[in-house]
Amino acid sequence: MDIRRFYELTGGDYDAAIQRFMAESRLEKFTRMFEQDPSYGELESSLAADNLKEAFRAAHTLKGVCLNLSFTGLSQSADAVTELLRHADADRPHCLEQVNLCMETLRGRYKEVIAAIRELDS
């Protein structure tokens, strides 16, 4: 799969990304590096440890990385989680239920992006 098809399949914005990176080779290089970004893993581990402050930081960082790469669908999911965590309170179970629901969507989109990255042509 080429980089343009990657963006089509993952709900990204190829035109915005190519405008930012100015060359497909650069865009593909940074897209391939996305899997190495620790933000998603930090988000998951922070949530598992009920560390909402760190989970917020990780979600916010993930959102920024996704915005820079124009991974539109994934950045929207990360944004939803970020905003819920911004106001989350561990003593209010309803807040955490909403975070968990949004995390289901984020997990699915993240896995989709990672799988597509692995399908990029060499």
Q: What is the structure's pLDDT at 120?
A: 94
- The residue ranges of every structural domain in the chain are 3-118
pLDDT value of residue 88: 80
Give me the pLDDT at residue 109, please: 98
| CATH architecture of the domain with residue range 3-118 | Up-down Bundle (1.20)
Please count the residues of the chain. Answer: 122
d(CA 102, CA 66): 16
Query: How high is the mean pLDDT in each 10-residue block of the chain (122 residues)?
Result: 96 97 96 97 96 96 98 98 87 79 98 97 66
pLDDT confidence of residue 87: 85
**Considering Cα of 83, then 59, then 77, then 41, what sign does the dihedral take?**
negative
| Closest listed residue to residue 113, CA positions, set 32, 41, 42, 39 | 32
